[in-house]
Each structure stands twice: as structure tokens, then as C-alpha cells.
Amino acid sequence: MTTASQQLANALRPVKHVLLDFDGPVCSVFAGLPAPEVARRLREGLLASGEQALAGAEDESDPLALLRLVSNARPDLTQSTDAALAALETEAVQVGRPTPGGESVLRACARSRRLVSVVSNNAGAAIETYLSEHGLSSYVAGVFGRAPGDPSSMKPNPRLLLEAMEAAGSGPEDCVFIGDAARDVEAGEAAGVPTIGYANKPGKDAKLAAAGAVVIVDSMQMIADALA
Ligand SMILES: [Mg+2]
């Protein structure tokens, strides 16, 4: 065993409930409909409904960051913007790219009788669409997407992780969180849950380590193998 796989085995041994980020560990949401295009369509929708351009919005290529920006500048537009983004995310997941090994993690959890909850800043409806279209719904006990109309629920806020644990009746000591961003590790820390960092791009390993990830892997298959 390599050191990383030993660390992984140790981190997973006590785990009964796997909390799983969606974009990254399960699929690449914006692989087919790129994030900047989604952000552009979101802006166009706002302008088409007669709204003025918002400061800073034109340069924002991350749709979730754009949702935060709109919500901060114009709280009255939060609900409608969130709903428009959820529709675009649902469109995006249908041309998204499955992460190699992501499905194997879900199957390995089922085989080892571990519960899985998806905890994501993406819209729950989009996540459910993806899982259903890929025949994966039965592998997931709960989907905890951002609270509609409340972008403050998004990670690094631990709220969604806490809700997932409460729904399953599990505690932090039963759980691990698998995520690919520093904000995931921060949310995990705030919820008392150790986070396994999935470094799917160069440079992410350093960010995940700096945030405090307990183990860092560059392949979801490695996690699936360790769960088996
Ligand atoms: Mg992610």
C-alpha cells in the first residue's frame, strides 16, 4: 500500500455516511455547457427582464459567484435568479461529463453499506436530474443542494452538511466529506467532518492541503478501491 492509500483506508474505516460534493467528484457539471456561457445567459435573462447591468456582473464567469453577486446587490432578484440558474444547471448536467471513478464510489458505498448524501452548491433539481439520467438515484440517500433563493447556504457554510447529517441521524464521527475545493474543506471543518480532497486539476492539491484536507487523492477510483 502506498502512503496515500493507507491514509485513505484509515480515513474511511470508521465512516458510515459519505457526504459527497457533486461538481468534481461525481461529474463535471459545466463540461458541455461551459460555466462562462451559463453566466452569460444568466446575465442576459436579467437584462431581458428589464434589469440594469449590475456592477461587477459582466466580468463574472462563475455562475454560482454571479448568483451571490446578484443576491448581494439586489436581494429582490435572488429567487428568480436562483431559479433561472437552476434551470441552466439542469440543462448543463445533461451534457456534463461523468467523473472517472465517481460512479464506482457510489457503488462501493452501496456494497459496503455506507450511506451517501450529495452535498453541493449546485441546485438540487439539477443533481437529481443527473442521478436519475445515469441510473444512480438509488445509490443516494439524500440530495442537499443550495437552499433555493438563499445562496448564503452554499459552502463554505456548513449548513448543507449539517442538514445531511441530521436527515440521516448521523454525527460527524460517522462521516467523511469528499470535495474538490478549499470551500468544501472549510465547510467540513466547520461541521466537524474530515474532508478528503479530490485534486482534479493541477495546483488544487496545494489548496486542499492548505485548507486542511485529511487526505488528498487525484483519482476518485482510489477512493472507490479503498471503500471496497
Ligand atoms: Mg466541487
- pLDDT on residue 4: 81
Distance, CA of 92 to CA of 20 (rounded, Å): 19
Cross-strand partners of 175: 17
- CB of 56 closer than 8 Å to CB of 43: no
Radius of gyration of the chain (CA): 17
pLDDT digits (tens, 9 = 90+) for 72-118: 999 999 999 999 999 999 999 999 999 999 999 999 999 999 999 99
Name which of 184, 158, 152 is nearest 172 in CA terms.
158
Residue 21 Cα to ligand 1 midpoint, Å, equals 6
Cβ neighbourhood burial of 218 (10 Å; 0-12, 13-18, 19+): middle
Distance, CA of 85 to CA of 87 (rounded, Å): 5
Residue 200 Cα to ligand 1 midpoint, Å, equals 10
Distance, CA of 207 to CA of 53 (rounded, Å): 33
Cross-strand partners of 47: none
Say how many Å lie between the first and final Cα of the chain, rounded: 14
* Alpha-helix runs per DSSP H in 22-142: 35-48, 63-73, 78-93, 102-111, 124-133
Residue 58 Cα to ligand 1 midpoint, Å, equals 23
Residue 198 Cα to ligand 1 midpoint, Å, equals 9
Sequence-distant (6+) residues with CB within 8 A of 218 are 198, 199, 200, 205
Residue 48 Cα to ligand 1 midpoint, Å, equals 30
Residue 26 Cα to ligand 1 midpoint, Å, equals 9
Domains delineated in the chain: 3-29+98-227 (3.40.50.1000), 35-93 (no CATH)
| Residue ranges in the chain modelled with pLDDT below 70 | 1-2
Residue 197 Cα to ligand 1 midpoint, Å, equals 10
Residue 49 Cα to ligand 1 midpoint, Å, equals 31
- pLDDT on residue 1: 57
Residue 119 Cα to ligand 1 midpoint, Å, equals 9
From residue 204, give the alpha-carbon distance in Å to each of 2, 48, 105. Answer: 21, 37, 20
Q: What is the DSSP letter of 98?
A: E
- CB burial of 122-131 (b: ≥16 within 10 Å; e: otherwise) equals bbbbbbbbbb
- pLDDT on residue 108: 98
